Structure 1
Amino acid sequence: MKDKWIVSVLICAVLITIVFPMNASAAPKVEASGAMLVDMTTGQVLFSKDEDAMLPPASITKLMTTFLVREAVESGELSWNEEVTPSEAALALTRKPGLARIPLVNKPYTVKELYDVALIRSANEAAVTLSEAVAGSEEVFVQQMNERATELGMTQTTFANVSGLDSVSAGRPGENLTSANDLMRLALAYLTKFPDVLDVTKRAYVDIDGVRFEATNRMLSGRDLAYPGMLGFKTGTTDDAGYCFIGVSTRDGRTVLSVVLGAETDNGRYEATKALHEFAYRDFVMTPILRTGEIVPENVFVAEGEVETVAARTTAAFEVLVEKGQAVPEPVYDLPDTKAPVAVDQQVGTVTIEPSESVRYLDGESPPTGTLVTAESVETASFLTRMSRAFADFLEEVRLVLGKLSLVDRVEML
């Protein structure tokens, strides 16, 4: 009797699953003015909230500042070992209560020292000093920041200073405004061009002038809110902006990037970041679309070949992130006609996953593609075979034309 009861329960469970399939898990609750989540491995957008709202970014501004500094180093305009002495404008920030992140003094510092403390400790005075080293003045450097933002497609961004402070604290007119979407573009550009920036932002402290300072990021290893795999990236806080954070983490071969703007508390920005990253790792599964070497269902037409079509296959596994409970998207093949002779493993096309309800990519970004090659070779057909096909094609065209004519038209043609 007991066994029959267990069997009945199992049958009911199966029927419930069939009738009421599991839906995708609920998106994380993010208490912030704007937010965005992207999987860097695939370029897919996994979550967004008011992504285009123009908001103050606070010290996340320094990502653009240090990005331009890094580009200047790469171009040879600056060197890491070049020494720079802070100006009076930069040193003035160290004398303002609450603004001095690093108490710089009137002495030379290397570009690398200033770069590190700007990212790790969010040093306002270091950001100003770096801008002066690159452009001669903060005003000119801000113009370069806005020009670079335009180049990156950051259409909702205006920079007024290099530190992210409000106009009164920064001593410059205007406020910095941007959006979660724009900051995602900047962060992706930074990480793509200079991935070793994470070697800096993952450090839990920085030493300068013989003094050790803790990183502003509390999610780094060894800090009180440590999150497994956290690699940085940048914090920001002002009264107007609230608490902001761009975070990068890695787990099981995937890298996730999040933007949180305008959280109400310091803990709140980290709680939102953790919720987003857990959502990415827990609720999205890397789903195989095609295996390595798999023959795809569409063939390539081969002009003048011994055979008129040839099979195509993948060169590597093709995967896409799919949220649990969502349908697996169908691949789209691009297999243009080719001409004989065709060698085996000759590249003949691509496969991709187009944007859909279940798959979204950052606007302006191209979906990832997989390469398709021929599964076998095709030799050029003999002259007789090609002439026979041409004649058969001609007869087919005549048949189609005649099929469209009325009986009277056909008689008149005769």
Structure 2
Amino acid sequence: MIAGPHTTEAKAIDLKAESAILVDAETGKILYSKNPDEALPPASMTKMMSEYLVLEAIDSGKISWDTTTQISDYPYSISADPSFSGIGLTQDKDYTVEDLYNAMAINSDNAATIALAELVAGTEGEFVKMMNEKGKEMDLPDFEFVNSSGLENDSLKENHPEGTDPKGVNLLSARSAALLAYHLINDYPKALEISSIPEVEFDGKTITNWNWMLPHNSVNFKQFHYEGIDGLKTGFTEIAGYCFTGTAERNGNRLISVVMKTKSEEQRFKETIKLMDYGYNNFEKVELFPAGYQIKGESTLPVTKGKEKTVDIEIKDAINIPIKKGEKDKYQIKYHLDKKRLTESNELVAPIKKGEKIGTAELVYEGEDLGFITSNETKQIDIITSDSVDKSNWFILMLRAIGDFFSNLFSSVVDMVKGWF
């Protein structure tokens, strides 16, 4: 396991965002955080959970990309309202799941999101229940979903999802948003394939991705283009400010960033660039310890009732995490043996199989560590036995017992004689 999380590294970057986090997408290692546990309105970053549930429904066979649905009165009223800047859905027309998903994930369309929620769950209210249940399943630490789109409930008026507060607001911390993104892109890589599309045709017109860091053709967006960016979700409302959950991959190294409550569309991307640059310029993924690594001086354990008197122990898997460049020597391993496996004399009892787990290891860092996005606790590294040790036969055990008896008797006599003098 690795100790953490402790303090943040907010001073490492002059970041103009209320809350932010940077995470390694493979291991979940946190590289930077600023107020990561402050629950804030995420606006349309909410749609990451809606995307997840739609992709899950497709994966389970409940719906398919070719499934069609029509637009009910509720999402139609949202799409027809110019204040929501919708793509203009029409009624009495069949829309495929693929088209509506593209509208949701690429153009952040609210009505398309609601239509998909109704298709998957029957009503948006039931879909919201699914969102909150999935959030608990993912162990999101700070969250609440009150609708599928990220709008404030009071803007939906009488259409706010049943069972939710009429004035309710979706909430996510930066840590929760990053963990949600982590699950979305790792469980369903298709989400990245779609979120990386700068423009797409929808219903005879071109709709644009609000993620300006993608390779758009517009001259206005080119200053924000960032090599490797292929997702993930923007967000904006008056109370949320400008938010962005981004992800990029360079040389096989994927990072996830979150900035919340910045002051402008431009600023959310400028701050994301700062985060990504910090991650790619200051960290490297290295093998700290190979599989089979043994701590010097602690590489064996005594064995009782076995044909061998000791057994070698080692870590089961290699430890590969992103670390600050040049800090490999600041990491050590500390063993935590399972006391239930040991006798009062700290011996393992034969028979012992090769590869048996006999404890966990702690990765210790000489500094402040931010831990992992995937757990508020620790990462576990198994300690296992390197070899098998068969149980000795009864005759050998008897001889050893007799030998131990006389050895202990001799020691007692020696101690008694010493006492006379």
Do they fold alike, i.e. is TM over 0.5? yes
Which residue matches 1:31? 16
Q: Distance in 2 between matches of 1:52 and 1:358?
A: 16
In the alignment, residue 218 of structure 1 is paired with which amino acid? Answer: W
> 2:196 pairs with 202, 206, 218, which one?
202
Q: Does 2:254 correspond to 1:244?
A: no
Q: What are the equivalent positions in structure 2 for 1:42-53 lying under 5 Å apart?
A: 42-53=27-38
Q: Distance in 1 between matches of 2:229 and 2:370?
A: 25
Structure 1 residue 395: Cα displacement: 6.3
> 1:367 pairs with 352, 367, 379, which one?
379
Which residue matches 1:211? 205
Q: Does 2:147 correspond to 1:161?
A: yes
The C-alpha deviation readout for 1:209-265, integer Å capped at 9, x for no partner, is 132222111112345222122120111011111110111112233221111110111
Which residue matches 1:185? 179
Q: Is the alpha carbon distance of 1:284 and 1:396 closer, same or farther for their aligned partners in structure 2, counting shifts above 3 Å?
A: farther
Q: What are the equivalent positions in structure 2 for 1:216-235 lying under 5 Å apart?
A: 216-222=210-216, 224=222, 225-235=224-234
Give the TM-score taking structure 2 as reference length.
Answer: 0.79
The C-alpha deviation readout for 1:256-285, integer Å capped at 9, x for no partner, is 111111011112111221211222222123
In the alignment, residue 38 of structure 2 is paired with which amino acid? Answer: A
1:348–1:372 CA contact under 8 A, matched in 2: yes
> 2:101 pairs with 115, 124, 129, which one?
115
Structure 1 residue 85: Cα displacement: 0.8
2:80–2:89 CA contact under 8 A, matched in 1: no
Which residue matches 1:270? 269
Identity of aligned residues (%): 31
Q: Distance in 1 between matches of 2:10 and 2:241?
A: 29
Q: Distance in 2 between matches of 1:390 and 1:254?
A: 58
Once the two structures are overlaid, the 10-residue window that deviates more, 396-405 or 223-232, is 396-405
The C-alpha deviation readout for 1:42-87, integer Å capped at 9, x for no partner, is 2211111111212110100111122222222233332222111111
Which residue matches 1:17? none
Q: Is the alpha carbon distance of 1:303 and 1:133 closer, same or farther for their aligned partners in structure 2, counting shifts above 3 Å?
A: same
Structure 1 vs Structure 2 CA RMSD: 3.4
Which structure carries more relative contact order (alpha carbon 8 Å, separation 6+)?
A: 2
Q: Distance in 1 between matches of 2:300 and 2:262?
A: 53
Which residue matches 2:303? 302
Which residue matches 1:328? 330
Q: Distance in 1 between matches of 2:10 and 2:371?
A: 17
Q: Secondary structure at the match of 1:285?
A: strand
Structure 1 residue 404: Cα displacement: 12
In the alignment, residue 112 of structure 1 is paired with which amino acid? Answer: E
- The number of equivalent residue pairs is 383
Structure 1 residue 296: Cα displacement: 4.1
Once the two structures are overlaid, the 10-residue window that deviates more, 110-119 or 192-201, is 192-201
Q: Is the alpha carbon distance of 1:235 and 1:390 closer, same or farther for their aligned partners in structure 2, counting shifts above 3 Å?
A: farther
The C-alpha deviation readout for 1:302-332, integer Å capped at 9, x for no partner, is 3333321122455654233322465622113
The C-alpha deviation readout for 1:319-362, integer Å capped at 9, x for no partner, is 3332246562211335656555667x645555452687335123
Which residue matches 1:90? 75
Structure 1 regions of 5+ residues with no counterpart?
A: 1-23
Structure 2 regions of 5+ residues with no counterpart?
A: 1-8, 161-165, 343-347
Q: Secondary structure at the match of 1:129?
A: helix
Once the two structures are overlaid, the 10-residue window that deviates more, 211-220 or 300-309, is 300-309
